[in-house]
Amino acid sequence: MDRFDAMEVLLAVVDAGSLSAGSRKLNAPLPSVSRKVAELERHLGTRLLIRTSRNIQLTDAGRDYVEAARRLIGDLQEAELRASGEYQRPRGVLTITMTTDFGRLVVLPFAYEFLNEHPEVTLDILTTTRFVDLTEERADVGVRVGHLSDSSLFAVKIGTIRVVTCASPEYLERKGHPERPEDLVRHDGVQFGNFSRAWLFPDGSTFREGRPTIRVHTDDVTAACVAAVRGLGISRLPNFMITEELRSGSLVEVFGDFRPEPMPAHLVYVRQGLLPLKVRAFLDWMTPRLRQKLRDIDEDCDRLNSGSTEALINPHRS
């Protein structure tokens, strides 16, 4: 029996929550995973897992053993990284994950500059609309927009992203310009992300509610942006998506006095032992650049929104 292999299988099962989930995580046959855990238990002469029909639970001995196995495997991985030189200079594969459009428009241009500056680093980029578990998918760094829920991650705040309530001038000319969130009941909506019908707008210490008739539901922010530009309704879109649309005038802000609270954006990473230099170098490179980029986007949107609002209020002013 390969004890290190058996330890890694056990940790995968524990982290995944069941033998079947562990086998999927390892991309290994379920009978093989079950056999390796059983062999490890026989070798130790004690039961590590209590198996139920839906999940597994650790015995007291299992908890102690898993904790020790994590330390041992972590030490081995750190020794391998030291031996390969990843603590002497930035090198090796750096896996980063982010949402598709935020990555394309904001993150990746800087990431490619980083790659040009560090010829021994290879980027493995995962762009997706789903939540990615950094540990499970062996990602080094994630870019997260929104409030963080995983307290086990280390996080570096890079700024905030504001959601802009906006519509095309053609739509507003056809349907009228709403003055208050309550006016949305007479308007069409393009819904991105959260599918709740009620849109909440802060007003001092309380919130006001708007309920448009949703014409388009989508979890693709590009699709929502296109629908709004084509005049299908009022939408709420992240500012980094619509800078060019605001500049061209194909979208304008509505409810400038009822702007939703901005969402935080972070670089997140898992730290177990000494941080590889490729990760530290990437964090040090990206953090100031992303902070400046998000500030620039916010300032651009504020300036462009002010111009759009003035044009709507005084359409004949030269």
Residue 311: which pLDDT band, with cuts at 50, 70 and 90? very low
Residues of the chain with CATH 3.40.190.10: 92-162+264-299
Chain segment 283-295, per-residue pLDDT in tens:
999 999 999 999 9
Q: What is the fold, at CATH topology level, of the domain defined by 163-261?
A: D-Maltodextrin-Binding Protein; domain 2 (3.40.190)
User: Residue 145 above 60 pLDDT?
Assistant: yes
Region 55-61 average pLDDT: 88
Separation CA 118–CA 91 (nearest Å): 8
Q: Tell me what pLDDT residue 308 has.
A: 53
SS3 279: helix
Which residues have CB under 8 Å from 212's CB, separation 6+? Answer: 184, 185, 187, 188, 189, 199, 233, 234
Among 5-14, 17-26, 78-87, 159-168, which is the least confidently predicted range?
Answer: 78-87
Residues of the chain with CATH 1.10.10.10: 3-84
Chain segment 20-53, per-residue pLDDT in tens:
888 888 888 989 998 999 999 999 999 999 887 6
- 302-311 long-range contacts (CB < 8 A, ≥24 apart) are 304/243, 304/246, 304/247, 305/164, 305/246, 305/252, 305/253, 305/256, 308/246, 308/249, 308/252, 308/253, 309/252, 309/253, 309/256, 311/249, 311/252
Separation CA 220–CA 241 (nearest Å): 11
Amino acid at site 171: Y
Architecture of the domain spanning 3-84: Orthogonal Bundle (1.10)
Largest interatomic CA distance in the chain: 86
Exposed, middle or buried by CB within 10 Å (0-12, 13-18, 19+), for 201? buried
Q: Tell me what pLDDT residue 318 has.
A: 35
Q: Tell me what pLDDT residue 160 has.
A: 96
Residue 307: which pLDDT band, with cuts at 50, 70 and 90? low
Structure tokens at 159: 């700024």
Q: What is the mean pLDDT of the chain?
A: 87
Residue 180: which pLDDT band, with cuts at 50, 70 and 90? very high
> Contact at 8 Å (CB) between 101 and 241?
yes
Which residues have CB under 8 Å from 295's CB, separation 6+? Answer: 159
What is the CATH superfamily name and number for domain 92-162+264-299?
A: Periplasmic binding protein-like II (3.40.190.10)
Residues of the chain with CATH 3.40.190.290: 163-261
Q: Are strands 154-161 and 234-238 parallel, antiparallel or unpaired?
A: unpaired
Residue 5: which pLDDT band, with cuts at 50, 70 and 90? confident
Exposed, middle or buried by CB within 10 Å (0-12, 13-18, 19+), for 226? middle
Separation CA 89–CA 81 (nearest Å): 11
Q: Tell me what pLDDT residue 314 has.
A: 46
Chain segment 201-217, per-residue pLDDT in tens:
998 889 999 999 999 99
Region 48-73 average pLDDT: 85
Structure tokens at 143: 């870019």
Give the rounded distance of the alpha carbon of 17 from its chain centre. Answer: 23
> Contact at 8 Å (CB) between 233 and 212?
yes
Among 75-79, 112-116, 129-133, which is the least confidently predicted range?
Answer: 75-79
Which residues have CB under 8 Å from 77's CB, separation 6+? Answer: 272, 273
pTM surpassing 0.85? Answer: no
Separation CA 120–CA 91 (nearest Å): 5
Mean pLDDT is highest, among 127-136, 233-242, 270-279, for 233-242
Q: Tell me what pLDDT residue 317 has.
A: 40
Q: ∠ CA 243-264-304 to the nearest 5 degrees?
A: 20
